[in-house]
Amino acid sequence: MRLKKDDSITSAQFTFFLLQTQIGVGILSMPYNIHLIAKSDSWASVIVAGCVIQLYLFLFYRLTVKYPTLSLFDLVEKLFGRYIGRFVIFLYIVFFLLMAASILSMFSQVICLWILPLTPRWLLIIIMGGIGAYAVRGPIKNLARFFVFVSVLLIFFIVLVVYGFFEADYLNVLPMGKEGFMPIVKGSEKAMYSMLGFEVYLIVAPFVKAKPYEKLKAATISNVSVTALYTFLTFMCIVFFGIKEFDLVPQPILYMIKSFSFEVLERIDLVFLSFWIVSVATTYMGYLLAAARGMLALAKTPRKEHTPFVKLALIPTLFIATIPHGVYEAATMLNEISRLSLIFVFLIPTLLVIRSFMGKKKGDTSHDHT
């Protein structure tokens, strides 16, 4: 069945959709998490992570070539069978809900720590959750347009960090490669956890009004942009703090920006956090959408709209987000849940690709997306 006009987005909008879903809450602590393993070669770990993600985007592309109108949930049920497929869909829903909840939790902890220490954390969670649910309601095209609009803020986001060039010591990054190959590879795993979000490719791709290679091109632009941004941020943290001081700064980007001072603006970190909140919101919206689409696929309702399931997806994320107490517990929950991506983002799609080549050569495009 062909896509309705209101349900389709352009390849350019697809680029920004993936970009905004990838850049999120993990950006604050990512350089520190990688540094604990790869030290001064942390920037190289980010590049390795970007290359691995690009490899999986090629695998996603192969699936969209063969099944252009099928989403991730359709593919799971089609290639794994009805019963196993529906069970895997349920697990995907749980994974997306846990990711959304951990993002909400980390967001509330950071805001309470840096901006609103006296504001109840549950109130921040409800406000962000409500905004996310409101944005996800309706056609995906509307959400894609919003993601394109707020992407302009990334320019200001980068400009604030660039100022660190004037106070950096570039000798801190030398000698390059001194930690060896394995620490760089191990550090790339931490980088990939902060770069998650590209997996929504398989959920949104059927809505993109473009040829498969154009979808791959859009996803590649997004991945290259995110990899370049994260590499730049990690590099800046290394040259700004140095190896020894870096060990003491769990949120290096915020501490670096807080040290900047201008005549007009004194607390630059608050401006930075304002832009960061938007990135957190878009990432949360992406995972909330994924969970709602999964519920729609599992429910098998005649209607093909995910709107009725948004509230159902919202409620558990609000409750789970209130569980951690303190930034450390929230970060631990986010890291542990991100580990599940090894199964849901990397393993299962790989099995889908293998299973697709074991079936018929001609793609089945007669199914409607969910």
Q: Is residue 230 part of a domain?
A: yes
Three-class SS of residue 208?
strand
Q: What is the pLDDT of residues 193-202, one digit of tens each?
A: 989 999 999 9
Mean pLDDT in residue range 262-288: 87
Q: What are phi and psi of 239, to 5 degrees?
A: -75, -20
The residues facing 208 across adjacent strands are: 9
pLDDT confidence of 360, banded at 50, 70, 90? low
Q: What is the pLDDT of residues 303-318, one digit of tens each?
A: 678 888 999 999 999 9
Q: Is residue 363 part of a domain?
A: no
Cβ–Cβ under 8 Å, residues 323 and 336: no
Q: Is residue 40 part of a domain?
A: yes
What is the extent of the structural domain holding 131?
5-357
Q: Is residue 364 part of a domain?
A: no
| pLDDT given for residue 5 in this prediction | 46
348 burial via Cβ count (<10 Å: 0-12, 13-18, 19+): buried
Domain CATH number, residue 279 = 1.20.1740.10
Mean pLDDT in residue range 330-359: 91
Residue 259 or 301, more confident: 259
Residue 261 or 8, more confident: 8
Q: Is residue 285 part of a domain?
A: yes
Q: Is residue 369 part of a domain?
A: no
Q: What is the pLDDT of residues 196-244, one digit of tens each?
A: 999 999 999 999 999 999 999 999 999 999 999 999 999 998 888 888 8
Q: Count of domains in the chain?
A: 1
Q: Is residue 352 part of a domain?
A: yes
What is the spatial distance between Cα 141 and Cα 132, in angstroms, rounded to a whole number? 15
Q: What is the pLDDT of residues 110-137, one digit of tens each?
A: 999 998 999 999 999 999 999 999 999 9
Q: Is residue 362 part of a domain?
A: no
